[in-house]
Amino acid sequence: MQRILMGQAGPGMILAKEILNPDGMVLCGAGTPLTPALIERLISMDIVDVTVEGHPVNVEGEKTLQEELQEIDLRFQRVEDMAPLMYLKKRIQAKLVASRSFEAAAK
């Protein structure tokens, strides 16, 4: 899941969180695919940012998925003989890959 500016939003991206107006009313629900018309409508309603599924926008200075996975490996290398911690490592890596699935699929 990634929070992006409306200027970065593109057709086909899927909302990961609902969009609310200032009164708390739901404008778009989670799971809604963005279309050019919907993006324009949200911009005209002064919506500044949205949270989308995956990690579709590369941000300068941000680590790649591979770099983050390597960092996790380094952090856990001293406890490789402890099964519960290795289980935790695998869960953390799986969550990271799932959250960045859009980026991984694009490579």
3-state secondary structure of 41: helix
Q: What is the mean pLDDT of the chain?
A: 88
Would you state the pLDDT for residue 59?
A: 75
For each of the domains in the chain, give its residue range(s) and CATH number, in order of start.
2-52 (3.90.105.10), 65-106 (no CATH)
Other CB atoms within a 10 A radius of the CB of residue 15 amount to 20
- All residues at 6 or more sequence positions from 43 whose CB lies less than 8 Å from its CB, including other chains: 6
Instruction: Look at residue 101 in the predicted model and tell me its pLDDT.
Output: 65
The two structure tokens encoding residue 14? 């899927």
Residue whose entry in the numeric block shows the structure tokens 């859009």: 102
Residues of the chain with confidence (pLDDT) below 50: 102-107
